[in-house]
Amino acid sequence: MFYYLFNYLDKVFNLPGAGVFQYISFRAGMAALLSLLITIIYGKTLIRLLIRFQVGETIRDLGLEGQKEKQGTPTMGGIIIIAAIVLPTLLFAKLDNVYVLLLVGSALWLGFIGFLDDYVKVFKKPNSWLVSNRGIKGKYKVFGQVGLGFIVGLTLYFNKNVVVRVISGNTYQDVKSMATTVPFFKNNSLDYEKIMQLIGLGDFTWLFYVLVATFIITAVSNGANITDGLDGLAAGISAIIGLTLGVLAYLSGNFVFAKYLNIMFIPNLGELVIFCTAFTGACIGFLWYNAFPARVFMGDVGSLSLGGIIAVLALCIRKELLIPVLCGVFLVENLSVIIQVSYFKYTKKKYGEGRRIFRMAPLHHHYQKLGYHEATIVTRFWIVGILLAIITLATLKLR
């Protein structure tokens, strides 16, 4: 909104300083600052409201150190994260940009699913058609994530403004392409359409792409949800990932940098930097109250949204194949649960008793069982996240 207002004031009244809103870097910085202020200033108010309405976390007894102290800690703090992402984006970004609208819609969509899940955990009785002992029944959450995957996939595939600019000498052409980036390879683009044409199914490229988008959104969203088990873990990792995606969006949306790095130039993508800085600012600001010992938990309204937003961001900037690297912490946490459950079922069937590979899954609980302090585990996971982010950025030159 501010972009249009100050653009008008600059053109009509020649207002001094109004032209600064033309710069993405300025608007991105303002979005980050505002998101930080929203989470820090209004986070305390939200915590008081959550306590007043007795929106407390119910902690299952897993035999972990410090677990009893967390019983009753306010949850659904992810509401302030969503607000701190959406409001600065609406104020500082161009609202006619398809990528911005898609990300804002994704944040609200997954935020609503997470809110509903948290709400029924606290206030609704279990064992109905919708509610289980741990919130909304899993199939309904997955249905919501799949629905978003279809919306995102169809929008990116069919929207005429989602294009790639092909440079040939001194001329260029914006073409509709479903190419994505393959890390660590020269001439590193992979076209979904060409893959489908090779197997004789070119007419179904749109369906294949939609299924890929749906899988990625569901997987990353659930990965962030599983990772949200220690104070500050999911928020810190998400901030690192969001900042990295912001850098990639800026480079891919800037003709000069894209040409220098020999990467895909995507017109209008630069506006996503504003969303990314708001996203990063919201996650960092939330740590003010969520760092150990946490005064509030983000709940599913936060964790489902953060993971889904990251997945949609990666799809928009054509870096979805980098997700296993950049979101490595989410991936390992997810895999630890899959491996633990699968091995337990296998050994129970074969030997008559279930056996475990980890002392507890997800992986962060395994380290708790080994005696590591919660703050130590979170800090070391953050460090791993930073290393993975550096490797991700290094793929721009390592080919």
Strands (E), 236-338: none
Given this model, what pLDDT does residue 125 score?
62
Q: What CA–CA distances, in Å, run from 143 to 101, 119, 137, 203, 218?
A: 22, 18, 10, 26, 9
d(CA 185, CA 179): 14
Q: Residue 379: enclosing H or E segment and its boundaries? A: helix 374-394
Determine phi and psi for 190, rounding to 5 degrees.
-125, 120
Instruction: Give the residue carrying structure tokens 């600019």.
Output: 165
Return the structure tokens found at 345: 């079922």
**Alpha carbon distance 327, 215 (integer Å):** 15
> To which H or E segment does residue 99 belong?
helix 98-123
The mean pLDDT values, 10 residues at a time, for the chain of 399 residues are 87 88 95 97 95 82 73 93 98 96 97 91 68 72 93 96 82 87 84 92 94 96 94 97 98 92 92 98 97 94 96 97 96 96 94 92 94 96 98 90
Domain boundaries, the chain: 2-394
* Four-CA torsion 243, 244, 248, 249, nearest 10 degrees: -30
pLDDT of residue 133: 61
| Contact of 306 with 109, CB cutoff 8 Å | no
Q: Which two tokens stand for residue 346?
A: 């296998």
Q: Count CA atoms within 13 Å of residue 59 on its CB side.
A: 18
Record the tokens describing residue 103, joined without a space: 């990300």
Tokens (6 digits) for 12: 């009509």
Q: What is the DSSP letter of 234?
A: H
Q: Give all strands (DSSP E) within 129-183, no chain letters.
A: 131-132, 135-136, 164-168, 171-175, 179-181
Q: How many CB atoms lie within 10 A of CB 130?
A: 12
